[in-house]
Amino acid sequence: MQSNSSMPGRREWDRRSFLKVAGLSAFAVTSASFLASCASSSPTTTSLISSKLYSADDARKLNSSLEWTKSVVADPKSEVTITVAHSWSPSDYVRQRQFDYFFQKRHPNIKIVAENAGDSSADYLKKYASQAAGGDLPDVMYNGFNFAQNFISSGAFLALDDYISAETHFDADDFTKVSRFYYRRDGKNYAIPYDCGPIMLYYNKGIFQKAGVDVPDSSWTLDDLRSAAIATTSGTGGSKIFGLSQPVTPADTFWDTVRLSPFGGHYLTEDESGVLIDQPDSISAVQWWVDMYLEKGVWPSPAELQSMSQADSFTLGRSAMRVDGSWGASTLHDQATFDWAITDWPAGPKGHSTAAVGSAYAITSKSSQKDAAWIYLNEYLSTSGQIFMFASTGKGNMTRNSAWPAYLKSKYAPEGAQAIRNALNNYATSDGVVFGPATPQLTNAVSPIWDQVMGKSLAVPDACKQIAQAVKPLLKKNVAG
């Protein structure tokens, strides 16, 4: 019978495969136990690392040229470790670790364990919201303006005012006023801002020259912007040049401050609990912007936007102007193949304002090493710290005025960088920036409505009314939260 012919050599299977399986299992068990013990909390930086962008020698020179004032809080008597969470791109993270190296040299008893979740704040949030749910946050945490309040209102962060007022050299007034707004609650400061940049006007010199239009400057009004946008828009299809690189849209959380307020229009009430977009002033402000799109196509339509999925049209060299945060300058520095500069955001008939937003670092309230965390934070965000991390690397947008001269001298500062500082100290504001807890929902609710406006199937007044209706119920979350 077939009893043996239907089964391939049993003995062969037994010996060879059994050994294979046994070997693999042994490997599995030993590696598992080895790995399990690898939950390390040893410092992440024990030697000075170097990269093409940030050489070790330059870092050392810079570090020794800077003055590092000591905190009034004394260094711990024995070795402690603090964990710091960052959101850097791989190349920027190198600079961070260089800072940590020199910091540990100055404070031998404080060991830094840095965690980097990459440059995407969506990933950062996912990771640290989960950690928060598990009750296990790091000692010091990076925060974006748009989600800091979520953590603050849940009591996750420590109020820093006592530490700040105890310091003799902190100089709170050195910080640009607009930068501190986002991290305050009930009169207390819960984080120290490390960068804050305003929305500025970028322009492509070549396109202006070719169109025979004068380049923008600080004297411009929004009417000047409009005529320039129309004059520089030309061509069709793949060779079309746009006057403005991005659409005006309510999905832009700065649109109130940058686009509407100069005309006396508004999106939401100041405390984000009510809607103002359906008021006549607001509607006419929106109409003013949308008209140049409807009549002259000065910014890309939805279909045209799709073909530029890798970067915006300005970076691609296809638009004359871009309305964007000053933080975009360093990327443009790397990617642009044309001559460009920055200038002040123009004034409108009813006012001159632009939005300024940024990020901050906080100490978590459950940290067991608050003093050490404060020593780190104090140095990290001191003038020297900001020069080391942000002025010398071109990341810019330092929150301390005293750090700006170093930036303006560096090779990374774009042409017109003084305008950024000017904006920060004069007309940049947080008024009208939408950043309450309901913001993602607002954005997702108004986009479909706005798609129709951009698709030219819905008029602006109707759209504004629909937006008001869509948004009203969602705002309750801002009040409750």
Q: Which two tokens stand for residue 392?
A: 């010398």
3-class SS at 48? Answer: coil
- CA gap 184, 192 in Å, rounded: 10
The answer to the question of residue 50 lying near other proteins (CB under 8 A) is no
Measured from the CB atom, the residue of 24 and 172 that comes closer to other proteins is: 24
Site residues (CB under 8 A) for other proteins, limited to 383-442: 437, 440-441
- Binder to other proteins among 145, 194, 327, 435 (CB under 8 A)? 327
Site residues (CB under 8 A) for other proteins, limited to 102-141: 113-123, 125-127, 129-136, 138
C-beta of residue 397 within 8 angstroms of C-beta of residue 195: yes
Q: Which two tokens stand for residue 210?
A: 């070719």
- What's the start-to-end Cα distance of the chain, in Å? 78
Measured from the CB atom, the residue of 38 and 74 that comes closer to other proteins is: 38
C-beta of residue 464 within 8 angstroms of C-beta of residue 278: yes
Residues whose CB is less than 8 angstroms from the CB of residue 426 and which lie 6 or more positions away in sequence, other chains included: none
The answer to the question of residue 331 lying near other proteins (CB under 8 A) is yes
Least distance from other proteins to the Cβ atom of residue 348, Å: 24
The answer to the question of residue 20 lying near other proteins (CB under 8 A) is no
Residues whose CB is less than 8 angstroms from the CB of residue 424 and which lie 6 or more positions away in sequence, other chains included: 176, 178, 179, 196, 197, 198, 356
Stretch that binds other proteins, among 37-45, 158-166, 260-268, 279-287 (CB under 8 A): 37-45
Measured from the CB atom, the residue of 19 and 28 that comes closer to other proteins is: 28
The answer to the question of residue 343 lying near other proteins (CB under 8 A) is no
Least distance from other proteins to the Cβ atom of residue 94, Å: 8
The answer to the question of residue 459 lying near other proteins (CB under 8 A) is no
Least distance from other proteins to the Cβ atom of residue 135, Å: 7
- CA gap 389, 376 in Å, rounded: 14
Measured from the CB atom, the residue of 64 and 306 that comes closer to other proteins is: 306
C-beta of residue 230 within 8 angstroms of C-beta of residue 243: yes
Q: Which of 334, 359, 391 is nearest to 86 (CA)?
A: 359
- CA gap 46, 37 in Å, rounded: 21
Stretch that binds other proteins, among 219-227, 296-304, 408-416, 420-428 (CB under 8 A): 296-304
Stretch that binds other proteins, among 86-94, 187-195, 269-277, 281-289 (CB under 8 A): 86-94
- Binder to other proteins among 231, 294, 451, 461 (CB under 8 A)? 451
Continuous segment of H or E residues that includes residue 312: none
Continuous segment of H or E residues that includes residue 306: helix 302-306
Continuous segment of H or E residues that includes residue 461: helix 460-471
Measured from the CB atom, the residue of 328 and 385 that comes closer to other proteins is: 328
Least distance from other proteins to the Cβ atom of residue 31, Å: 6
Per-residue mark of binding to other proteins, 250-289 (x: CB under 8 A): -xxx------------------------------------
Site residues (CB under 8 A) for other proteins, limited to 231-250: 237-238, 249
Measured from the CB atom, the residue of 274 and 317 that comes closer to other proteins is: 317
Least distance from other proteins to the Cβ atom of residue 197, Å: 11
Residues whose CB is less than 8 angstroms from the CB of residue 42 and which lie 6 or more positions away in sequence, other chains included: 111, 113
Q: Which two tokens stand for residue 377?
A: 């934070």
Measured from the CB atom, the residue of 221 and 301 that comes closer to other proteins is: 301
C-beta of residue 299 within 8 angstroms of C-beta of residue 246: yes
